[in-house]
Chains A and B, each alone.
Chain A
Amino acid sequence: MSGHAQEPFAKLPVAPKPPLRRFHQARWDEPIIFEQSRPGRRGIAVPAAGVPAVEPPETVRRARPPKLPEMSQLHVLRHYVRLSQENLGVDQAVAVGQGTCTMKYSPKVNEAFAAAVGELHPLQPVDTVQGVLEVYWRLERMLAEISGMHRVSLQPASGSAAIYANVAMIRAYHASRGEGDRRDQVITTMFSHPSNAACAKTAGYEVVTLMPGADGHPDIEALRAAVGPRTAALMITNPEDTGIFNPRIADFVDLVHEAGGLACYDQANANGLLGVTRAADAGFDLCHFNLHKTFSTPHACGGPAGGACGVVERLEPFLPAPTVERGGDGYRLDTERPQSVGKTRPFLGVTPNVVRAYAWIMALGGRGLREVAEIATLNNNYLMDKVLRIPGASAPWGRDRIEQVRYSWRELFEDTGVRSEEIGARAADFGVHYWTSHHPHLVPEPFTLEPTESYSREDLDEYAAILAHVADEARRDPGLVRGAPYNQTIHKIDPTPLDDPAQWAPTWRAYTRKHLS
Chain B
Amino acid sequence: MTHPYIPNAEPGVRAEMLAAVGAASVEELYAPIPAALRLDRPLDLPEAMASEQELVAHMRALLGRDTDTVAALSFLGHGCYPHHVPAVCDEVNGRSEFLTAYAGEPYEDHGRFQALFEYTSMMAELLEMDVVNVPTYDGFQAAGTAIRMAARATGRSKVLLSGAVSADKLSKLHDFLDHDIEIRTAPVTGGGEIGEVEIDDSFAAIYLETPNVYGVVETRGRELADLAHAHGALLVVSADPISLGVLAPPAAYGADIACGDIQSLGMHQSYGGGHAGYIATHDEERLVAEYPSRLFGLAPTAVPGEYGFGDVFYDRTSFAHREEGKEWVGTAAALWGITAGVYLALMGPEGMRELGETVLARTRYAMDRLAEAGATVLHSGAVHFREFAIEVPDADALLGALRGHGIFGGVRLDGRTLLVCVTERHSRDDIDRLAAAVRKELS
Contact = CB atoms under 8 A, between A and B. Distances in A.
A355 B325 contact: no
Interface string A323-353: 0000000000000000001111111111111
B80 interface: yes
Interface string B327-356: 111111111101001101111111111110
A59 B222 contact: yes
Given A49-B357, A118-B268, A377-B29, A87 B97 contact: yes
Interface residues of B, number: 206
B323 A200 contact: yes
Contacts of A44: 86, 88, 346-347, 351
A453 B10 CA distance: 12
Contact of B175 (A84, A342, A425): A342
Nearest to B410: A123
A508 B91 CA distance: 25
A14 interface: no
Contacts of A342: 171-172, 174-175
A160 B331 contact: yes
A301 B63 contact: no
Nearest to A293: B331
A32 B114 contact: yes
Nearest to B307: A32
Interface residues on A, range: 35 or more
Interface in B144-168: 148, 168
B353 A157 contact: no
A474 interface: no
A509 interface: yes
A207 B325 CA distance: 13
B13 A457 contact: yes
Interface string B426-438: 0110000000000
A77 B125 CA distance: 21
A51 B428 CA distance: 7
A230 interface: no
Contact of A197 (B105, B318, B383): B318
B9 A119 contact: no
Interface string B73-93: 010101110100010100111
Nearest to A273: B33
Contacts, number: 708
B397 to A, nearest CB: 14
A299 B101 contact: yes
B328 A198 contact: yes
Interface string B2-46: 010111110001101110110100100111111011110011111
Contacts of A87: 97-98, 101, 104, 108-112
B426 to A, nearest CB: 10
A121 B269 contact: yes
Nearest to B315: A499
A195 interface: yes
Where chain A touches its partner, the secondary structure class is loop
B117 interface: yes
Interface string B172-205: 1011000110000000000000000000000000
B268 A119 contact: yes
Given A122-B272, A365-B46, A498 B59 contact: no
B442 interface: no
Contact of A77 (B88, B141, B324): B88
Given A89-B96, A168-B175, A497-B297, A61 B349 contact: no
A120 interface: yes
A455 B92 CA distance: 26
Contact of B306 (A57, A93, A490): A490
A146 B43 CA distance: 7
A433 B20 CA distance: 25
B102 A299 contact: yes
Nearest to B44: A145
B172 to A, nearest CB: 4
A266 to B, nearest CB: 12
A281 B40 CA distance: 11
Nearest to B283: A510
Given A80-B92, A342-B175, A457-B17, A351 B270 contact: yes
A84 B66 contact: no
Given A44-B346, A275-B42, A363-B49, A68 B126 contact: yes
A1 interface: no
B55 A362 contact: yes
A485 B310 CA distance: 15
7 contacts: A146-B43, A195-B318, A402-B30, A454-B5, A507-B121, A508-B298, A509-B124
Given A32-B114, A51-B365, 6 more contacts: A87-B109, A128-B66, A142-B45, A249-B37, A368-B3, A490-B303
